[in-house]
Chains A and B, each alone.
Chain A
């Protein structure tokens, strides 16, 4: 088998970053997320491949929180588009976990299928190569295995690294793009036989069987209000979520020129459903809370055949009110939903 010495990672990253924009999990002072290797600052940053995961999800690489779409300028007789910002340079995401990769598979469904292709997303996605890190030690809030994810075989990866607990990662190419990476990195890869790591059991499990169907029947249940009591309707859950993809399109003008951009939006915000005439169909926390869970566990499932939650656990960790999506899934099956 091919193995990669961990001590060589900085050199591997330098090499990959020569030909592409490379994103790796980093701890940057108080924050952790997937950042460009170019931004790595030896003095304050640390590689986070050894941690279970990073707080800010890698969706940022394919769907930036703020993204310029085009610039325009007013000219005689109309408006002229002066520049379109489509990013199609090669990218590599290195060290993504199976849950976060499954979330990208969800984004692919939303942005590339059913006759709707998002050109900005597609330009990035088509030129992105993914090296996933197999997950052998699930964390206390992980439940990806209950959400159709195999943490040891990240679906959609071009190559997979497996942390053997020694100084080596096992390296496996899975696609032609992965083979190409193996060739690029040939000078760093060694042949060596190492035992596979032992995988550990999940502490947290849920049963998704029948959840979407059940939720489709309980829209008007008064239980939603009680479930949402503690929710403060901030955007933490949606912005730390690797699969939440809602965005807004806005414009900034200065004089006769300006640009249009899109930015993440959150169904937890009142403004999200505010209509031009002033009516808001989801005025209360209960309605927004219900929408978030129905989108994750019911609507997306109905349309694409997979849930929009991949069990990464970030919202469970960071919710100030202690709201836990795995409890909502359990409640869908077990709770008394009628009044």
Chain B
């Protein structure tokens, strides 16, 4: 039986037995590349569930919609998504016993957004690649937390030096780097899709939504845009689980993972060795979430 069939079987069993109230997976749209998040609530919904090479969305993020509710939830996670579940558990956003986690060893995904843009008539040059950019950099295709595991274990897909792009940027002079960031961040339209797609962005009131005081201005100006992205990036330090959804959903193609990767590398260097969300240990605290007297500070 293929993965879709196995997921349907599990979902049907869980819904039938009342072990979960809803089951998060994907369903197919009209076009071959359209897979989208789908939450089954009834046994008869289960036949809509699919898992295919476009099941790229990180469904752990969707758990935040249910954090203040009671439902028991089943969900399908790939390697990166499972690290998202660890993020939520470590951050105290949801209880482990409300979840039934179906892990799928991920062979790498294609990006339905890229495929859709190619199909739209708006693109001059095709974008779609055999594998989504975020999957090319994957260090953990296999789920790190699950109740049931499907599929063959997969090797990490990142090739060559993991932080090569970060190192290139580090080689630039401060002025050149500033110009680079000015260029990429001036395009931001402040749609907050990066924040909304991010499982680590789970603050109940986001600093960017606060009005008393208003920490970051609402203008789409280079200074407000930079403030937004720099504050968001620093909140990601030691917390980003590298699912790459922020960069994937960005409608103006800002290379956000470059910023996140720099922080992943620095947290690992200065406070590590550390890789966020690789295992769930109850009560464990990621670096920077607690103060240690011997934390290094000579780079400040």
A residues sitting closer than 8 Å to B (CB atoms) are 27, 30-32, 46, 48, 51-56, 65-66, 137, 139-141, 226, 229-230, 232-236, 238-240, 248, 250, 252, 261, 263, 266, 269-271, 274, 284-285, 313, 316-318, 320-324
Q: Smallest CB–CB gap between B130 and chain A, Å?
A: 21
Q: Is the CB of A248 within 8 A of B38?
A: no
Q: Which residue of A141, A232, A316 has the most chain B CB atoms within 10 A of its CB atom?
A: A232
Q: Is the CB of A250 within 8 A of B121?
A: no
Q: Which residue of B57, B122, B193 has the most chain A CB atoms within 10 A of its CB atom?
A: B122
Q: Which residue of B lies closest to A317 (CB)?
A: B120
**Residue B197 contacts which of A30, A48, A234 (CB distance < 8 angstroms)?**
A234
Q: Is the CB of B37 within 8 A of A318?
A: no
**Residue B112 contacts which of A31, A46, A230, A322 (CB distance < 8 angstroms)?**
A322
B218 at interface, CB cutoff 8 A? yes
B residues sitting closer than 8 Å to A (CB atoms) are 29, 31, 34-39, 41, 57, 61-62, 65, 112-113, 116-117, 119-124, 187, 189-193, 195-197, 209, 211, 214, 217-221, 245, 248-249, 251-253
Q: Is the CB of B29 within 8 A of A324?
A: yes
Q: Is the CB of A266 within 8 A of B39?
A: no
Q: Is the CB of A55 within 8 A of B122?
A: yes
Distance A32 CA – B121 CA, assembled complex (angstroms): 12
Q: Is the CB of A317 within 8 A of B117?
A: yes
Distance A313 CA – B124 CA, assembled complex (angstroms): 17
Q: Which residue of A lies closest to B112 (CB)?
A: A322
Q: Is the CB of B124 within 8 A of A250?
A: no
Q: Is the CB of B197 within 8 A of A66?
A: no
**Residue A226 contacts which of B36, B39, B61, B117 (CB distance < 8 angstroms)?**
B39
List 11 additional contacts besides A55-B252, A66-B220; criterion CB under 8 Å.
A48-B124, A55-B251, A141-B120, A229-B37, A230-B37, A234-B193, A235-B193, A236-B251, A238-B191, A317-B120, A322-B35
Q: Is the CB of A252 within 8 A of B251?
A: no
Q: Is the CB of B191 within 8 A of A235?
A: yes
Q: Is the CB of B252 within 8 A of A31?
A: yes
Q: Which residue of A lies closest to B24 (CB)?
A: A229
Q: Is the CB of A52 within 8 A of B193?
A: no
Q: Is the CB of B252 within 8 A of A234?
A: no
Known A229-B38, A232-B196, A236-B249; judge A52-B209 contact (CB<8 A).
Answer: no
Q: Is the CB of A271 within 8 A of B209?
A: yes
Q: Is the CB of B41 within 8 A of A226?
A: yes
Measured between beta carbons, the chain A residues less than 8 angstroms from B39 are 226, 229
Q: Which residue of B lies closest to A54 (CB)?
A: B122
Known A65-B189, A140-B121; judge A250-B218 contact (CB<8 A).
Answer: yes
Measured between beta carbons, the chain B residues less than 8 angstroms from A52 are 120-122
Q: Is the CB of B57 within 8 A of A320?
A: yes
A interface SS class: loop
Distance A55 CA – B116 CA, assembled complex (angstroms): 13
Known A230-B37, A234-B192, A271-B209; judge A248-B218 contact (CB<8 A).
Answer: yes
Distance A54 CA – B39 CA, assembled complex (angstroms): 33
Measured between beta carbons, the chain B residues less than 8 angstroms from A252 are 217, 219
Known A55-B122, A232-B196, A320-B248; judge A66-B221 contact (CB<8 A).
Answer: yes
Q: Smallest CB–CB gap between A163 and chain B, Å?
A: 14
Known A30-B253, A65-B189; judge A321-B122 contact (CB<8 A).
Answer: no
Q: Which residue of A lies closest to B59 (CB)?
A: A230
Q: Is the CB of B122 within 8 A of A140?
A: no
Distance A250 CA – B249 CA, assembled complex (angstroms): 28
Q: Smallest CB–CB gap between B217 and chain A, Å?
A: 6
Measured between beta carbons, the chain A residues less than 8 angstroms from B187 are 30-31
**Residue B249 contacts which of A269, A271, A320 (CB distance < 8 angstroms)?**
A320
Distance A323 CA – B27 CA, assembled complex (angstroms): 12
Q: Smallest CB–CB gap between A292 and chain B, Å?
A: 14
Q: Which residue of A lies closest to B224 (CB)?
A: A66
Distance A88 CA – B209 CA, assembled complex (angstroms): 33
Q: Which residue of B41, B116, B123, B191 has the most chain A CB atoms within 10 A of its CB atom?
A: B191
Measured between beta carbons, the chain B residues less than 8 angstroms from A234 are 191-193, 195-197, 249
Distance A57 CA – B192 CA, assembled complex (angstroms): 18
Distance A65 CA – B221 CA, assembled complex (angstroms): 10
Q: Is the CB of B124 within 8 A of A27?
A: yes
Distance A271 CA – B207 CA, assembled complex (angstroms): 11
Q: Is the CB of A321 within 8 A of B192?
A: no
Q: Which residue of B lies closest to A65 (CB)?
A: B220
Measured between beta carbons, the chain B residues less than 8 angstroms from A316 are 116
Measured between beta carbons, the chain B residues less than 8 angstroms from A48 are 124
Distance A271 CA – B212 CA, assembled complex (angstroms): 12
Q: Smallest CB–CB gap between A255 and chain B, Å?
A: 16
**Residue A232 contacts which of B124, B189, B197, B221 (CB distance < 8 angstroms)?**
B197
Measured between beta carbons, the chain B residues less than 8 angstroms from A140 are 31, 119-121
Distance A232 CA – B190 CA, assembled complex (angstroms): 15
Distance A339 CA – B37 CA, assembled complex (angstroms): 22
**Residue B191 contacts which of A66, A239, A285 (CB distance < 8 angstroms)?**
A239
Distance A144 CA – B251 CA, assembled complex (angstroms): 22
Distance A250 CA – B217 CA, assembled complex (angstroms): 9
Known A30-B253, A252-B217, A271-B211; judge A230-B122 contact (CB<8 A).
Answer: no
Measured between beta carbons, the chain B residues less than 8 angstroms from A322 are 29, 34-37, 112
18 contacts between A and B (CB under 8 A): A30-B253, A32-B122, A48-B124, A53-B121, A65-B190, A66-B218, A66-B220, A229-B39, A229-B62, A234-B249, A236-B251, A238-B191, A239-B191, A318-B117, A320-B249, A321-B36, A321-B57, A322-B37
Measured between beta carbons, the chain B residues less than 8 angstroms from A248 are 218
Distance A58 CA – B269 CA, assembled complex (angstroms): 46
Distance A258 CA – B35 CA, assembled complex (angstroms): 48
